[in-house]
Structure 1
């Protein structure tokens, strides 16, 4: 009896120790920035270990936080800490604690804000992000470098530009800027000081006239956009993005888009802290200002170095809301294209999936105003495991097959080809896809695509059909003659199981 009592006391003590372990993981398992159990620990140049997502955001902002011990980490080199990750997972298994999850956007933002005071006023930036990233300017196409489709097949070129580039008063001749790289002439400096002084005026009318002139000046002149993208001018312009006057907010957002068109300005604008007020405009700004804000975020998202930080600052939910509920066609298209570029990054794809956006995106495939843009994001989601599962749950196969079935609705060749690309990714190593494709009548539609569409679409279609081989894909016991299909152009070469072709 006494022995059993000692066993119970030992067991209670053991469970208490496990409970305590769950609540208090070893300090070396916690990220010094987020103070949370690390999901993807990474060692930086100074030898310290952080959550990789926190490092990515700090690098994108060129911000070196001052930690509790007074040190400032060096983020120049980042190496996965596989040994620590294994130790964390072992600890979770031994103690019964839940496995760590990727940090939430708001968690990273609040952690960095608590250290920095406020994003956008960070001092002594260090250049960790390349100033010449492989990003595209206004007229871009989806190349193989950008596509994340599982089969590595690039999406068809798709050209567009932010809306406010074409929204302005009549074009005016801007000041002439002649500047050598790394220096600015006296005329440009004088123009910049004039804009800063007028935008900081207490007279709202003077502010409005200044920002309208800035919008006109940066609309047509690449030299002006490069010369005027200074920290001081961006800070003055950022203040006007938060104005409650419609004209000020709208013209400030449009000027921000114009300045962002210069490739080298995109990282500078994000570092200046312009993304949070642009997100605020998307949430509750004036209609035309929201249109320009969507265009600005789309333009900034073209830079590879900006994608992670824009997602971490919380741009996904308002972009999705603008896409679904916006009142302006161009605004919705820019929001859709911003989402496409942001979801080229895995962390942002995971955020979109967690927001439950898959059904909404699929529902928008029938909206002619935005379907061509939305299918690009669907392709990105289909390229990752969690996105693929969410899309299959949301009946993506039926939606995409239905769009392909109706050529009038599916629109351009690029849209049809991207639908095929999405189906190709969804079919990757998925037994579930076979049943859903059968129920949607996919074989007949894909056979038509294999006969009539572009060569690239035909190649992907043949890959899907090859994966669907088997009696289960036929109707009423029919089986597709795949050899005939692959040899070209046969749309319905079928034979019944156990019967010769002459008997059909």
Structure 2
């Protein structure tokens, strides 16, 4: 009885302690305890690549929707990787205990998704007005990527030469972190063509200049029931937006795009080709990229890519690539059905269609939701087959690197025997440039990141001798990655490795359950289950 009485007294005392705040304890949580996205006290705080702390569910919702919020200090976070912020989590719990505040619970994904969508809607209203929106504001989402400088007028009329900037693919380097997207600055290869045979240059085309009735003239001709007037309208629009860059923004209006859209799927080759080419020209201006997608341009581009005329398909692939350069468009383009046609276009007879489709897929696969869709569409085996054949290896490996940076992509690549494929390409010295070899090593390194399967597959592929050669003769970044992989592969069987469980959990290699690490208390319960098998 005495023992029970003491226990009852202790329970009462504990309850009173937890419900009564200590004198001087702050009842309002400090600002650093609040998630910048959900606005609630964080239950599962994580640090993102750029250093800020968010609720984990908020990061997931933003990533799934392809949204990058603007924080109170004007900066934008980088969600490429997340690490649990155990220090702030412990501090929040201690603050709650001291103040008699209930421990926070992770918010429901649906509620956070609504908050994110509301923020996206507010930004769309701001940008959609088209008034006072600077190019700098539109490009904040891609500030970490090199600027893209298009010169359509020069290349459209010139000889079909380079598909990349003068820096060439050799300038494409792998970022230090295996989870950081690869920087790449390119332009659609359709800009490198000579004048199209479908572009009939008339005197009227050459004499059109900027004036107040310009839009009215184009709209009138493009809405005409006479095919020859439609041809004149789209040819003039294509020519003017190529030779007079200053007209691209002024002509990218809702009314003109509304008249242009139906002509993109015209049954007449000249009309269709020039209409799609005009969209490519309009997309060159950064301020037009978001506006074009919101106007409904993507569905007809997808239709052209599926079954349009050959030259129209080249321009459609180039337009999708150009629009995909804008971060705010990436998720929308994936949702509107462009991923599967772009994947199919990698086998097109036209080299320009293949190259621009590959680069469009690279930029679109920077978004997690698009990577998941592409995995479900069977993109990984297709890409590995193309890479093994050497067809566009330099560009295909860029897309594979994006897949290797996420759990779903790693799992699909390991299932598709990507380790043997990548090792085989390195062994055979079949890759066309040192940059491609470096990216191939980077893809292998990303596959090894948090994967419990990689060691066995690498040993089966006899990767040690290949990685040893890379360590001796590769670039600095490739040597460092090869060295780390060799250290793991050379570990004696049965020897316990040092494992950063938090890193593995975040990489998707393990899922949380009741697994005790060390001698800690209940806060140190994690999972030992691999999702990669």
TM bucket, shorter chain: 0.5 to 0.7
Asked whether the 8 Å contact 1:147–1:344 carries over to 2, the reply is no
Of 382, 391, 413, the residue aligned with 1:360 is 382
Of 213, 231, 246, the residue aligned with 2:254 is 231
Query: How is 1:34-433 mapped onto 2 (pairs within 5 angstroms)?
Result: 56=65, 82-85=106-109, 126-127=125-126, 131-135=138-142, 136-137=147-148, 138=150, 151-152=178-179, 155=182, 160-169=186-195, 187-323=210-346, 325-407=347-429, 409-433=430-454
SS in 1 for 2:125: coil
How many Å separate the matches in 1 of 2:287 and 2:65? Answer: 20
Asked whether the 8 Å contact 2:282–2:288 carries over to 1, the reply is yes
How many Å separate the matches in 2 of 1:147 and 1:419? Answer: 10
How many Å separate the matches in 2 of 1:145 and 1:415? Answer: 9
Asked whether the 8 Å contact 1:175–1:224 carries over to 2, the reply is no
- After superposition, the Cα gap between the structure-2 partners of 1:134 and 1:151, relative to the gap in structure 1 and judged at 3 Å, is same
Of 447, 450, 458, the residue aligned with 2:479 is 458
Unpaired stretches in structure 2, ≥5 consecutive residues: 1-36, 41-57, 69-104, 129-136, 151-163, 495-533
How many Å separate the matches in 2 of 1:319 and 1:381? Answer: 16
- Per-residue CA deviation, residues 126-181 of structure 1 (Å, 9 max, x unaligned), is 126853344453567999999888525664x655321332335289897797xxxx
Which is further off, 136-145 or 246-255? 136-145
Deviation, 1:255, is 1.1
How many Å separate the matches in 1 of 2:111 and 2:194? Answer: 58
How many Å separate the matches in 2 of 1:265 and 1:143? Answer: 30
- After superposition, the Cα gap between the structure-2 partners of 1:463 and 1:55, relative to the gap in structure 1 and judged at 3 Å, is closer
Aligned equivalent of 2:32: none
Which is further off, 222-231 or 414-423? 222-231
1:446 aligns with 2:467: yes
Deviation, 1:223, is 0.9
Task: Report the RMSD for the aligned CA atoms in angstroms.
Answer: 3.8
How many Å separate the matches in 1 of 2:173 and 2:425? Answer: 24
- Per-residue CA deviation, residues 225-276 of structure 1 (Å, 9 max, x unaligned), is 2222111111111121121111111111111111101111100100111001
How many Å separate the matches in 1 of 2:382 and 2:355? Answer: 15
Asked whether the 8 Å contact 1:149–1:383 carries over to 2, the reply is no
Q: Count the aligned residue pairs.
A: 365
Deviation, 1:420, is 0.7
Unpaired stretches in structure 1, ≥5 consecutive residues: 1-41, 61-80, 89-101, 103-111, 113-121, 178-186, 474-504
Deviation, 1:54, is 12
Aligned equivalent of 1:16: none
Asked whether the 8 Å contact 1:333–1:370 carries over to 2, the reply is yes
Aligned equivalent of 1:30: none
How many Å separate the matches in 2 of 1:149 and 1:357? Answer: 26
- Per-residue CA deviation, residues 188-228 of structure 1 (Å, 9 max, x unaligned), is 43222222211112211121122122212222432122222
